[in-house]
C-alpha cells in the first residue's frame, strides 16, 4: 500500500525528520518525548501560545516542539531548511533560491533578501509568520536589496538554540502584528554545564555543495550565576546548474534553443538587431568577432538557434558562510529576582549569481531608463548602419527598435552580500506571592541591528555607454568608443573599463523593543485557579535601503532601484485569562475557557483590537477537545509603506504575443483587445524575452492594515491504557482543522491575471496597468502594492506518535504527521467587482510556490544499546502548472533520508558519531516550466542529488 493510500484510508501519515521521538506536539493529553524532555509534567511553564504558566500537556494551542538534538539529526545546516520540512510550512526564501538582484525586488514589497532564509506557515507568506527569540521580537533581516519585513533565520547561531516551538495558529492578541499564520519561538540556551561541541561535513554525491558546520558552547554554573557562551561556523559551497542534468536549458527536457518551447534568451553574444534600417528587421552576425566596422553583408536573419542558453550559468544552491558568537548570563539578585543578559553577533557572507549582463538598448527595450533613449551616432567607428535614433527631443524620429547584446566580456553578474546582525536583551524577572498564589513578572529591553552591504559586479553605466556610442567627437578624455556591433570578443578591456562599474548597495534595519509582563492566579474555583496575564509593549522599528548613486540616477543596465527609508513606533497592551469551569465529573473530566485581547496604537495612524476565545474540554482523562476563534492584525511594514518603485522581472507570458498556440492566434476577441491595448494590428508583435516581463513594484503609503479571522478545532487522544499495559511509552493521536481568512490583504495584483483580464475581458483597470512601447512590447506592468481583497485557506493537520517500551530488541518509534490543504484562494479587485482564484493543487512561478493537497513526513526509528537508526520519508502530493505550460503535472514526490548514530558506552556516551544520507533514493524534483528556480520549485523540493554527511558531537 502506498503512503498516500495509507493516509486516504484514515491512518494518518507524516511529519518531520529524524529523531521522531524528539519531534512531537506539545499539546497532548499523555506524555510525549518532546513534552517530557522539555519539563516534568507537574511543572508549570510558559509554552508558546499562552502567557499563563501551565502544564505543557494542557496547552490550548497546537504547538510543535523541536529540540536541538532533533535539529542536528536532520543533517541540515540551516534552521530555515529544518523548519521548512514541517507539513504546515509552505517554503519561504532559502539557500536554494538563487534569484536576487537580477530579477529585481519581489512583488510583495519586502526586499529581495538574497542569501537569507525565512519560514512561511499556511502559504500565507513569511511576513505573516511571526518569529520570536526567547519570546521577544528579533530584528528583521536585510540583504542590501530592499527592506524585508521578516526575520532572517540565518542570523541566529545554531549553537545557541535549545529548542524551537512552532505555534501553528495565529495569535495576534498575545504577540501583536504579523502573527496571522503562526509563531516560531526560538528558545536559546540559558543554562549549561561544561562543553558541548559538534562538527559536521556533508557533500552531494556529485562532489559539490560541500558543507561544513561547527558548533561549540560552554556553560558555567555557580551558586547564584549561570554563564553560557558559544559560537557557530557554517560554510556552504555552491551547487551549479551546469552540474545537474535537469538544468542544462531554461526549460525541462529541452535539448536545444531551437526546441519549440523556447526559453533561451534573445540577448546573445553575437547581438540581435531589430528594426534596423537596411536590414530584414531581425538580424544577427554571420560570424564573430568582427574587428572594426562590420559590413551589411556580415548580418543574416536571426533564428532560434542563435538564442543564448543562460541556464547552466546559475546556482542550484547558493554559497554562503556564516559565523557568530553569543553570550547568556543569569545572575540571581536575591531569592526572587533575576537579571538575565543575552547578546549575539552573526556575520553572513553569501552570493547569488546570474548569467552575463543582457545589454538591451533602444526605444522598445523596456528598461525604463536612459538605455531606452540611446541614439547611436553614425560617426561611431563600429556602427555600419548610420545614425540609429531613439527619437525624443533633439533627435530625429526613431528609426530602430532594439539592439540586444549579451556582454560576455564583462563576466557573470555576481551579487555578494556581507550582513552583520547584532542583538542584545536585558531582562529583570522574578516572582512574588499575592495571598496564597504565586505571581511572576518580567521586564525586557531588546535592541537589534541588521546592517547589510551588497556588491554587484557586471553592471554598466548607461550615461557612459551613451557617450561612447554617441558622436565620436564628444568621446574624449577617458571615453573609449564602444563596439556594440562586432559580437563576442569585440568589446575590449579599455571599453569595459570606461562603461563598467561595481555597484555598492546598502540597507539596514533597527529594532528597539520594551516589554513588561505579569502573570499569576487570581483566585480559586472548584475546578482550579483562575489564571491571568497582562503586559505592555513599546516597539520602534526603522529600515532603510540605499542603492548605489549610479543606480539612483537611473544609469544602471540591470534592475533600477530608488532609496527608501521609514520608521514607526507602537504602544500595545494585552490581557489573557484562563477559567477552569468544571473538573472531575462524568463526561467532564475538565472544562476550561481561555481568552485574550490586545490593543495596539501605531504612530502611522493605525490601531487595532484583536481577541481570542478558546474552549478546552476533556470528556475523559485521555481525550482533549478544543475549539478557538481568533482575530488577527498585521500592520503594513516599512518596505510596504515606503519602499520605492522598482522592477521585478516576472516569469510570465503575454497572451497578446503572436506565436503558435497563443490566445492571440486562436481568439478574435483577444486580438481585438490586444490591439486596443497597443499591440500592432498587423500581428507583428511577438514577446522577445522568453517569458520575463517587467513588473513595477513599490510601496504605498495609503495601505491599510490586514485583518484576519481564524477558526480552529482540534482533538488529541493519548490513551492511558497503552502506557499502563506496557504497549507504549508514548502513544498519541492528534488532529486539527483550521480556517484562516485574511481581509485587506497587502499584495500586488497578480501580473499574469492582469494580462489575462486585459486580453480576454478588456478589463479597464487591468489594461491601464499595462504600458507598451510603440511596437507593442511590454515596458512595464504596474503592480504597486494595495489592499487587494482577501486570502482564504483551510486545512487539516494530523499527527500520530508512538514509542515502544524498551525491549530486548531495543526501542522503536513511529512519528506520522501530515497536512491536508482543503482550500487556498486569493481575491483581486477588477472593474466589475472581485475575481477569486483558487491555487489548490497548483504551482505558480514569480514567486515560486506550490499548493499540494497533501504533504508530510514519516519517521521510523530504532534504538538498541549504543546504536540509534532512523528512516525518514517525506511526501509531496502532485500539483499542476497554471501558466507557461498549463496543466503540466509535477508528479507525486517521495524523498527518503537515512541516519545511523553510534554513542559508545566505552566513552561514557560523551561522544556521538552520526552518518546519514538525505534523498537516499536520488529523487529529482519534478519538472516545472513556470518556476523561476532552475526548472523546479525551490520552496517545495530538494536540490537534485544525494547528500551525505558525517557528524561527531561531544558533550560533558
* Residue 786 near residue 746, CB atoms below 8 Å: yes
**3-state SS class at 592:** strand
Residues 6+ apart with CB under 8 A from 810: 862, 863, 864, 865
How many residues appear in the chain? 956
* DSSP string computed for 433-495: EETTEEEEEEEEEEEEEEEEEEEEEEEEBHHHHHHHHS-GGG--TT-----SSS-TT-S-HHH
* DSSP string computed for 80-108: HHHHTTSTTB---S-TT----GGGBS-TT
CA 776 from chain centre, in angstroms, equals 34
Helical spans, DSSP H, in 725-784: 751-761, 764-768
Cell of 237: 559551497
R_g of the chain computed on alpha carbons: 30
Cα–Cα distances (Å) from 131 to 138, 176, 282, 422, 518, in that order, read 7, 11, 52, 16, 22
* Cα angle value 339/343/347 (rounded, 5°): 175
Cα–Cα distances (Å) from 771 to 103, 313, 535, 554, 555, in that order, read 19, 31, 51, 19, 21
Residues 6+ apart with CB under 8 A from 485: 271, 273, 285, 290, 293, 294, 382, 383, 384
- The pLDDT score that the predictor gives to residue 39 is 35
- The pLDDT score that the predictor gives to residue 33 is 32
* Residue 57 near residue 35, CB atoms below 8 Å: yes
Label residue 263 left, alpha or beta by phi (over 0 means left) and psi (-120 to 50 means alpha): left
Cell of 904: 559508545
* Residue 650 near residue 753, CB atoms below 8 Å: no
Count of alpha carbons within 13 angstroms of residue 499, beta-carbon side: 31
| Separation between Cα atoms, residue 906 and residue 865, nearest integer Å | 12
542 C-beta neighbours (distance < 10 Å), count: 18
- Phi and psi angles of residue 22, each rounded to the nearest 5 degrees, phi first: -80, -15
| Separation between Cα atoms, residue 941 and residue 854, nearest integer Å | 14
Q: What share of the chain is helix, strand, coil (3-state, %, to 5)?
A: 15, 45, 40
| Separation between Cα atoms, residue 935 and residue 926, nearest integer Å | 8
322 C-beta neighbours (distance < 10 Å), count: 24
Residues 6+ apart with CB under 8 A from 153: 78, 79, 80, 83, 116, 117, 118, 119, 131
Cell of 141: 533581516
End-to-end alpha-carbon separation of the chain, Å?
Answer: 45
pLDDT means over runs of 10, the chain (956 residues): 36 32 31 33 67 73 84 84 89 75 56 81 93 95 86 91 92 93 94 95 96 96 96 96 94 93 90 92 90 93 94 93 96 95 96 92 87 94 95 87 95 94 97 93 97 94 96 95 95 96 94 97 94 97 94 88 92 97 94 96 95 95 94 93 80 86 92 96 79 80 95 94 89 95 90 91 93 88 87 96 93 94 91 87 86 95 95 96 89 97 94 96 94 90 96 93
Residues 6+ apart with CB under 8 A from 725: none
Is the peptide bond between 579 and the residue preceding it cis, with omega within 30 degrees of 0? no
* Residue 459 near residue 500, CB atoms below 8 Å: yes
Q: How would you write 330-376 as a 3-class SS string?
A: EEECCCCEEEEEEEEEEEEEEEEEEEECEEEECCCCCCCCHHHHCCE
**3-state SS class at 587:** coil
Place of cell 478558546: 614
* Cα angle value 174/176/177 (rounded, 5°): 150
Kind of pairing, strands 646-651 and 623-634?
unpaired
Query: Dihedral, CA atoms, 378, 381, 384, 387, nearest 10 degrees?
Result: -10
* Residue 701 near residue 726, CB atoms below 8 Å: no
**3-state SS class at 497:** helix
DSSP H or E run through 174: helix 172-175
- The pLDDT score that the predictor gives to residue 101 is 52
Kind of pairing, strands 867-876 and 854-864?
antiparallel
DSSP state of 127: G
Amino acid at each position: 500500500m502506498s503512503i498516500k493510500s495509507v493516509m486516504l484510508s484514515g491512518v494518518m501519515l507524516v511529519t518531520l525528520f529524524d529523531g521522531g521521538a524528539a519531534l512531537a506536539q506539545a499539546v497532548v493529553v499523555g506524555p510525549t518525548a518532546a513534552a517530557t524532555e522539555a519539563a516534568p509534567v507537574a511543572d508549570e511553564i510558559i509554552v508558546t501560545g499562552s502567557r499563563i504558566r501551565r502544564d505543557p500537556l494542557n496547552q490550548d494551542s497546537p504547538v510543535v516542539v523541536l529540540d536541538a538534538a532533533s535539529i542536528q539529526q536532520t543533517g541540515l545546516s540551516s534552521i530555515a531548511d529544518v523548519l521548512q520540512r514541517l507539513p504546515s510550512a509552505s517554503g519561504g526564501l532559502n539557500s536554494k533560491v538563487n534569484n536576487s538582484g537580477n530579477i529585481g525586488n519581489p512583488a510583495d514589497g519586502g526586499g529581495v533578501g538574497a542569501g537569507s532564509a525565512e519560514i512561511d506557515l499556511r502559504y500565507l507568506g513569511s511576513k505573516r509568520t511571526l518569529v520570536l527569540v526567547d519570546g521577544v521580537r528579533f530584528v528583521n533581516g536585510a540583504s542590501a536589496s530592499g527592506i524585508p519585513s521578516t526575520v532572517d533565520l540565518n542570523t541566529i547561531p545554531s549553537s545557541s538554540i535549545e529548542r524551537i516551538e512552532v505555534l501553528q495558529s495565529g495569535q495576534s492578541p498575545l504577540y501583536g502584528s504579523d502573527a496571522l499564520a503562526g509563531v516560531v519561538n526560538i528558545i536559546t540556551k540559558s543554562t549549561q554545564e561544561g562543553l558541548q561541541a559538534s562538527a559536521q561535513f556533508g557533500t552531494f554525491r556529485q562532489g559539490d555543495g560541500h558543507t561544513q558546520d561547527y558548533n561549540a558552547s560552554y556553560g558555567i554554573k555557580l551558586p547564584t550565576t549561570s554563564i553560557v557562551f558559544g559560537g557557530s561556523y557554517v560554510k556552504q559551497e555552491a551547487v551549479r546548474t551546469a552540474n545537474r542534468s535537469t538544468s542544462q536549458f531554461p526549460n525541462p527536457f529541452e535539448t536545444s534553443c531551437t526546441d519549440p518551447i523556447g526559453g533561451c534568451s534573445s540577448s546573445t553574444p553575437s547581438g540581435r538587431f531589430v528594426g534596423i534600417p537596411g536590414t530584414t528587421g531581425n538580424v544577427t552576425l554571420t560570424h564573430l568577432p568582427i574587428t572594426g566596422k562590420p559590413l551589411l553583408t556580415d548580418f543574416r536573419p536571426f533564428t532560434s538557434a542563435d538564442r543564448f542558453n543562460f541556464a547552466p550559468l546559475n546556482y542550484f544552491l547558493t554559497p554562503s558562510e556564516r559565523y557568530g558568537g553569543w553570550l547568556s548570563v543569569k545572575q540571581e539578585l536575591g531569592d526572587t529576582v533575576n537579571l538575565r543578559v543575552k547578546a549575539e553577533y552573526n556575520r553572513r557572507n553569501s552570493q547569488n549569481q546570474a548569467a552575463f549582463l543582457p545589454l538591451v538598448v533602444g526605444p522598445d527595450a523596456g528598461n525604463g531608463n536612459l538605455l531606452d533613449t540611446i541614439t547611436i551616432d553614425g560617426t561611431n567607428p563600429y556602427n555600419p548602419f548610420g545614425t540609429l535614433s531613439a527619437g525624443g527631443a533633439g533627435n530625429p524620429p526613431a528609426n530602430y527598435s532594439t539592439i540586444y547584446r549579451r556582454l560576455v566580456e564583462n563576466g557573470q553578474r555576481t551579487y555578494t552580500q556581507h550582513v552583520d546582525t547584532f542583538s542584545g536583551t536585558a531582562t529583570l524577572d522574578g516572582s512574588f506571592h499575592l495571598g496564597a498564589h504565586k505571581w511572576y513578572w518580567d521586564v525586557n529591553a531588546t535592541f537589534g541591528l541588521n546592517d547589510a552591504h551588497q556588491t554587484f559586479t557586471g553592471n554598466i553605466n548607461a550615461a557612459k555607454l551613451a557617450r561612447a556610442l554617441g558622436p565620436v567627437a564628444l568621446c574624449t578624455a577617458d571615453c573609449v568608443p564602444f563596439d556594440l556591433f562586432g559580437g563576442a570578443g569585440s568589446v575590449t578591456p579599455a571599453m569595459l573599463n570606461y562603461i563598467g562599474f561595481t555597484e555598492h548597495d546598502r540597507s539596514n534595519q533597527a529594532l528597539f523593543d520594551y516589554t513588561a509582563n505579569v502573570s499569576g492566579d487570581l483566585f480559586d474555583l472548584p475546578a482550579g485557579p483562575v489564571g491571568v496575564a497582562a503586559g505592555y509593549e513599546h516597539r520602534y522599528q526603522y529600515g532603510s535601503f540605499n542603492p548605489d548613486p549610479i543606480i539612483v540616477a537611473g544609469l544602471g543596465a540591470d534592475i533600477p532601484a530608488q532609496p527608501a527609508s521609514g520608521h514607526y513606533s507602537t504602544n500595545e497592551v494585552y490581557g489573557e485569562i484562563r477559567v477552569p469551569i468544571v473538573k472531575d465529573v462524568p463526561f467532564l473530566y475538565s472544562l476550561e475557557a481561555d481568552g485574550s485581547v490586545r490593543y495596539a496604537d501605531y504612530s502611522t495612524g493605525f490601531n487595532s483590537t484583536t481577541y481570542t476565545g478558546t474552549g478546552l474540554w476533556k470528556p475523559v482523562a485521555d481525550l482533549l477537545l478544543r475549539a478557538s476563534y481568533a482575530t488577527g492584525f498585521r500592520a503594513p511594514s516599512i518596505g510596504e509603506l515606503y519602499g520605492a518603485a522598482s522592477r521585478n522581472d516576472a516569469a510570465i507570458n503575454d497572451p497578446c504575443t503572436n506565436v503558435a498556440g497563443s490566445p492571440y492566434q486562436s481568439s478574435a476577441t483577444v486580438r481585438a483587445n490586444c490591439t486596443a491595448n497597443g499591440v500592432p494590428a498587423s500581428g507583428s508583435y511577438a514577446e522577445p524575452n522568453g517569458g520575463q516581463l517587467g513588473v513595477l513594484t513599490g510601496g504605498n503609503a495609503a495601505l491599510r492594515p490586514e485583518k484576519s479571522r481564524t477558526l480552529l478545532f482540534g482533538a488529541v487522544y493519548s490513551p492511558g491504557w497503552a502506557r499502563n499495559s506496557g504497549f507504549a511509552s508514548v502513544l498519541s493521536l492528534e488532529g486539527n482543522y483550521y480556517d484562516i481568512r485574511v481581509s485587506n490583504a497587502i499584495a500586488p495584483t497578480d501580473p499574469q491575471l492582469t494580462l489575462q483580464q486585459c486580453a480576454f475581458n478588456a478589463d479597464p483597470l487591468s489594461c491601464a496597468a499595462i504600458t507598451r512601447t510603440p511596437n507593442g512590447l511590454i515596458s512595464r506592468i504596474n503592480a504597486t502594492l494595495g489592499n487587494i481583497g482577501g486570502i482564504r485557506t483551510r486545512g487539516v493537520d494530523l499527527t500520530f506518535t508512538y514509542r515502544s517500551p524498551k525491549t530486548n530488541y531495543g526501542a522503536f518509534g513511529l512519528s506520522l504527521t501530515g497536512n491536508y490543504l482543503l482550500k487556498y484562494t486569493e481575491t483581486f479587485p477588477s472593474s466589475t467587482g472581485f475575481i477569486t482564484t483558487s491555487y489548490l493543487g497548483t504551482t505558480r512561478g514569480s514567486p515560486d510556490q506550490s499548493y499540494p493537497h497533501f504533504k508530510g513526513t514519516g519517521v521510523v526509528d530504532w534504538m538498541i544499546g549504543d546504536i540509534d537508526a532512523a528512516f525518514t520519508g517525506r511526501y509531496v502530493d502532485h500539483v499542476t502548472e497554471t501558466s507557461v505550460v498549463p496543466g503540466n503535472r509535477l508528479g507525486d514526490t517521495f524523498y527518503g533520508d537515512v541516519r545511523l548514530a553510534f554513542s559508545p558506552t566505552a566513552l561514557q556516551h560523551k561522544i556521538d558519531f552520526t552518518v546519514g544520507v538525505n534523498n537516499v533514493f536520488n529523487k529529482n524534483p519534478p519538472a516545472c516550466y513556470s518556476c523561476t528556480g532552475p526548472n523546479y520549485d525551490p520552496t517545495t523540493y530538494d536540490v537534485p542529488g544525494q547528500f551525505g554527511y558525517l557528524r561527531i558531537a561531544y558533550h560533558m
